[in-house]
Structure 1
Amino acid sequence: MKSAVLIDGYVDEPAVLGVPPYISTYARYIAGTLLLKGFEVTYTTIDQIREKDNWQIFNDYDVMVILSSVTVPGKYIGGTPITIDEIEKLFELNKKPFRILTGAIVKFLKSTKADDVAEDFLKYAFENVSYEIIRKVSIEGAQIVKQHPRYPDVICEIEVSLGCERKTYCTFCSEPILHPIFSSRPVKDIVDEVEALYKCGVRAFRLGRSANILAYGFDKNSSKINISLINELYNGIRDVAPELEVLHTDNANPGFIAKYYPESARAIEIIVNYNTPGDIFSFGIESFDENVRKKNNIQGSVDDIDFAIRLVNEVGGKRVEGVPKLLPGLNFIFGLYGETKKSYEILYKKLKEYLNDNVLIRRINLRQLYLVPNTPMWYLSKRKHLKVNKKLFNHYKYLIRREIDAPMLRKVFPKGTIIRNVISEFREGNITFARPLGTYPILIGVIGIFEGKSDVYVVDHGRRSITAIEMERKVGDYSINELTKIPGIGKSTAQMLKEKFFNQPLWKVLEGQVD
């Protein structure tokens, strides 16, 4: 049998995330294509290669595919995307297999040692083909998840649509470059893929491969919100994956929500009815400066954004064990055309307004402009000097992290909140840092050492993380030093707790639920 190795260098695009614990649609589609072509497929990540330092072990394969598709780089905990130098190293040390480089990296490379063998595999396999082919490869490729180093604790991105429903696009976005035509995937195809993944042991899903989840079916409903199709999608997923742990989404457009209200409110209600707690609508706000918005062709006014953020709070703010079902997450880009010092002041003032009005924001993402080749912004940069004011950026980032993020986190995850199935990531002393599976999961510093999964109880807050204790651990399992990390507990109180409640779960003691 012919053999192929798929090296996952990770994906981070406006509508796809594939950095562990996520596994992208692209990785599974590539695997499915190779499997259908009769290949035995080995899946590995770039982090596994780094860890074992085994850069030249792929010469025995007939085909070597490297996936790299990062167009909106960020900070990652679960893995580090492949670099161009690493791509070149792999190609240089493994010359025997037929070598394929795929993903957005192909569109943006200027030159590498791999140019002579680089092919855009996704373009070859999927561009201008029907969803019937994607249906086949997505279902066939589901089995590759079992080879992921974090399996079964992975979250699968699920493709819902390609492209953007808008007729004109934001000047900086790579989505219309990568996927120029908006199209919604058939419900049955999505549900059947989820079922295949569920049968392979996956319990966490994110409808993330979509520029705007509320536009699903928009192209099949005379350019109107397709409420019935959104309901059919979520209901169908719940039917085939009855014991799923996570059902989240990602992108939504606040301008779209305002423009198509009240249908948008009904669509949000459907999502809140079927999703799991901790879900986020990622809003590409980019700027609260109306002048910047107009110059960069960003849909909607600031009033529209206000309306959408408050509507999502109203519909999605109900809590399960303290965790809100659905909240907005706000993305901002610094360095856009037309930006001034006033743009920063407007941003800070607006965020402060939300905080004072108890309008909850799950996360605030502050990014500097990343020029994607062939976007209008990229062409503009050749004529205009586009540069982030580092001094202003760092100053306002500090202010937002200290004066907005920290108090907002206390509102979103108040003390006593219970977060289920958090997974250990790394350790610092006797603190285990962990995250649940989900869309932009919160980082949790858990007092004590544990591995695997655990349910936790929130006891304190940092600027961008929270502190918690394991619900299964008893008072006697903690040292005096660990107990004093909980606000309000000094050494004498810690000693008293150990003497009086040694065999009681600590969280119940804190709740006053002991005899």
Structure 2
Amino acid sequence: MKAVIIDGYVDEPALLGVPPYISPYVRYSAGVFKKWGVDYDYFTIDTIRGENLWESFNNYDLLLLICGLTVPGHYVGGTPITPGEIAKIFRSNEKPLKILAGPVTLAYTMRGGSFAEILKNLEVDFLVRGDVEAFLESFFKGEPNENKRSDYNLIDEIAHLGAEIVKKHPKFPFIICEMELSKGCERSSYCSFCTEPVLHGRLKSRSVKGVLREMKELYREGCKAFRFGRTANIFAYGSDWNHRKPCPSVLEELFSEARKIAPDAIIHNDNANPSYMIEHRRETVKILETIVRYNTEGDILSFGVESFDEEVLKRNNIGSSPEDVLEAVKMVNEIGGVRVNGVPKILPGINLLYGLIGESPKTYRKNYEYLRKILDKGYLVRRINIRQVMIFPGTPLHRYYSMKRFKMNKSLFEKWKEKIREEIDSPMLKRVFPVGTILRRVIPEYKKGRMTFGRQLGTYPILVGFPGNFEKPVDVLVVNHGRRSITGIKYPASINSMTVEELEMIPGIGEKLSRKIILERPFKDWKDVEKALGPNLTNHLKDLGITL
């Protein structure tokens, strides 16, 4: 038997599988295929689009398509599959057995501020509403069960076997392996909009041994970036073994051993619950100290704040308070704000969600006011993620809006989003990445005019624009800021060798002055530079770290 895995990409509350991320679903599927001796190939939807491969899978016995988004997102590294493309793949390849898996089987939408629709009339043999690896295992045992749920005995048996698939990813080696620590949510009741409990139920933690075994094999295969993102709350990992309380010793074992396995790899995180952090303050501090000891700089803890409006929090059962959020932001800053290579070790990110029950114009004002408080107190926040809700079947929000007309106030949303971007994001970015910061190994992603744009590997890395034509990773010196991006130049930078475009990127040096510099160089020393540019600009260049 020969199979093909098509990665249409996934994005869930506690899992990201859009490039550069490669999801556990894809790796686990490869692991089951390898266990059962099935040869397989792997394609991403972007490869299929780019090479026009829509009708190229009739020579396979089994076609597995994994995809689905249940949270709104903006993607640069890849574009998730559309419902029309799902239908096109199945319609264009009649011969293989066709399997559809991932959150798409719940429902699908690609836009925030909309209802997710159940896909109908799909030409598939199996619609997997359970876990894909559990279905495949049952299929090869001759008892296919589309609703079968997995357990960590199976996952730990096959996860390391699927590590080899990372080499088939078109972006390899510049990929991030999303590592599964747990499924489900630690809370006893759930937020109105969240699909994590709908898809995965209550919290179930995976053994540290299982995580590390898979990580070791992925590292051996060449993966150099990992994110402990497949968990709804990093601080609750292992709490289901400890009467729902945090387990600092478990996190210490995980991070310390992970660093031994992958000494030069990027190790990052994602989700955290600020109220859980404050409720268990002592254990949280220990866990934060552990993370900072072993992680890679530029890390983020994404706080599912969703709203600072107490009425919205209550009616959507979000279970936090604005003051808890402020305290958790402070805690992460105090422990994680230490800079390595000029970049903070770990900072909070804040997710805000609009379209929730009880929302009013007051909600927008309160959200802005609390973000302003954070800024005015001098705390750093790496990322403010402002989205419109996706309404999925099975959630309380879907039931509510099925009885009451859903309508987003788009103009109000855009007005306050713009205000936050201009008055909060812009000054915050300058604090997090001050001029003179060096960003190591920025990976080029696309070109626009004379500029290359890229990011570092990591959790929600900042977008960097720098002049020149680059294909390989490059170190970049920060020289200026946009609202949500950075302008830089290749580092190290010498005033005697910089291009006109690079010189023009530096505030205070325009087209006229950059050409003067080129005509008057080489400069023998900084006194020569000062004669040409004056003392203020010369000192600014030295402060940036620019050499002769």
Contact 2:7/2:42 (<8 A) preserved: yes
- Indicate conservation of the 8 Å contact 1:474/1:503, yes or no: no
Residue 433 of structure 2 is aligned with which of 409, 413, 435? 413
**Partner amino acid for 1:142?**
A
Q: In the TM superposition, what whole-angstrom CA distance separates every residue of 1:162-200 from its partner, at most 9, and x where no partner exists?
A: 101110010110000110131111001111111000000
Q: Per-residue deviation at 1:119?
A: 3.3
Aligned amino acid, residue 119 of structure 2: K
Alignment CA distance shift 1:294-1:478 (3 Å): same
1:478 deviation in Å? 3.7
What does 1:256-335 align with in structure 2 at a 5 Å threshold? Answer: 256-335=276-355
- Show the counterpart of 2:12: 13
The equivalent of 1:124 in structure 2 is 135
Aligned to 2:154: 133
Provide Cα deviations, 1:409-457, integer angstroms capped at 9, x if missing partner. 0011000111111100111111100100100110000122211201111
Partner of 2:535: none
Residue 503 of structure 1 and its aligned partner are, at CA, apart by: 10
Cα 1:179–1:187 change in 2 (3 A) is same
User: Partner amino acid for 1:135?
Assistant: D
Counterpart AA for 1:511: L
| CA 128–482 in structure 1, closer or farther in 2 if over 3 Å, else same | closer
Q: CA deviation at 1:221?
A: 1.4
> Are residue 163 (structure 1) and residue 184 (structure 2) matched?
yes
RMSD of Structure 2 on Structure 1 (CA): 1.9
- TM-score, structure 1 as length reference: 0.96
The offset of 1:481, in angstroms, is 4.0
Query: Bigger shift: 235-244 or 487-496?
Result: 487-496
Which residue number corresponds to residue 530 of structure 2?
none
1 CA distance for matches of 2:497 and 2:28? 46
C-alpha contact (below 8 Å) 2:464/2:488 kept by paired residues: yes
Determine the structure 1 residue equivalent to 2:96: 97
Aligned partner of 1:324: which letter?
P
Q: Which one is further off, 201-210 or 376-385?
A: 376-385
Secondary structure in 1 matching 2:287: helix
SS in 2 for 1:262: helix
Q: Contact 1:336–1:386 (CA<8 Å) still a contact in 2?
A: no
Asked if the contact 2:72–2:388 (Cα under 8 Å) also holds between the matched residues in 1, the reply is no
Amino acid at match of 1:344: Y
Residue 115 of structure 1: CA displacement? 4.7
Deviation of the 1:265 alpha carbon: 1.2
8 Å CA contact retained: 2:391, 2:398: yes
The question of 1:378 aligning with 2:398 is answered yes
Report the 3-state secondary structure (helix = DSSP H, G, I; strand = E; otherwise coil) of the residue aligned with 2:34.
helix
Give the residue type in structure 1 aligned to 2:123: A
Quote the offset at 1:123 in angstroms. 5.4
2:479 pairs with 459, 465, 480, which one?
Answer: 459
Stretch moving more, 407-416 or 261-270: 261-270
- For residues 380 and 203 of structure 1, do their structure 2 counterparts lie closer, same or farther at Cα, with a shift above 3 Å needed? same
Distance 1:222 1:418 in 2: 44
Q: Is the 8 A contact 1:102 1:122 kept in 2?
A: no
* Aligned equivalents of 1:387, 1:445: Cα separation in 2: 37
Distance (whole Å) between structure 2 residues aligned to residue 481 and residue 160 of structure 1: 46
Q: What amino acid is aligned across from residue 414 of structure 1 in structure 2?
A: P
Q: What stretches of structure 2 of length at least 5 have no aligned partner?
A: 108-117, 138-147, 526-537
Matched residue, 2:142: none
Output the CA distance in 2 between the equivalents of 1:508 and 1:41.
Answer: 54
5+ residue gaps, structure 1: none
Q: Percent identity?
A: 47
Which amino acid in structure 2 is aligned with residue 124 of structure 1? Answer: F
Shift in Å at residue 273 of structure 1? Answer: 1.0
Q: Distance in 2 between the 1:168 and 1:143 partners?
A: 38
Match of 2:203 among 182, 194, 207: 182
The question of 1:218 aligning with 2:239 is answered yes
Indicate the residue corresponding to 2:85 in structure 1.
86
1:114 corresponds to 2:150: no
Q: Deviations over 1:227-249 (max 9, x none)?
A: 000000001101111121x1000
Q: Select the residue among 448, 452, 460 that pairs with 1:428.
A: 448
Aligned pair in 2 of structure 1 residues 508, 6: CA closer, same or farther (>3 Å)?
Answer: farther
How far apart are residue 253 of structure 1 and its match?
A: 0.2
Matching residue of 2:256: 235
Give how far 1:102 is off: 0.5
Q: Which residue of 332, 353, 356 corresponds with 2:376? A: 356
8 Å Cα contact 1:337/1:386 also seen in 2:
no
Q: Following TM superposition, by how much is the alpha carbon of 1:130 offset from its aligned partner in structure 2, in angstroms?
A: 3.1
**2:4 and 2:42 in contact (8 A); partners too:** yes
- Length-normalised TM-score, structure 2: 0.90
Instruction: Find the counterpart in structure 1 of residue 50 from structure 2.
Output: 51
Secondary structure of 2:505's counterpart equals coil
Give the Å deviation of 1:479: 3.1
Query: Matched residue of 1:377: which SS?
Result: helix
Deviates more, 1:309-318 or 1:491-500: 491-500
2:390 partner SS: coil
Q: Distance in 1 between matches of 2:424 and 2:546?
A: 33
* Superposed CA offset, 1:200-237 (max 9, x none): 01100000000000001101112211000000000110
SS in structure 1 at match of 2:54? coil
Equivalents in 2 of 1:236, 1:512: separation in Å? 36
1:299-341 Cα deviation digits (max 9, x unpaired): 2211111111111111111111221111011001101000000
Q: Which residue of 2 aligns with 1:440?
A: 460
After superposition, the Cα gap between the structure-2 partners of 1:224 and 1:20, relative to the gap in structure 1 and judged at 3 Å, is same
Looking at structure 2, the residues matched to 361 and 63 of structure 1 have their Cα atoms a distance apart, in angstroms, of 46
Cα distance, 1:122 vs structure 2: 4.6
Counterpart of 2:490 (choices 470, 474, 495) is 470
**Does the 8 Å contact 2:275/2:320 carry over to 1?**
yes
Tell me the CA shift for residue 295 of structure 1.
0.4
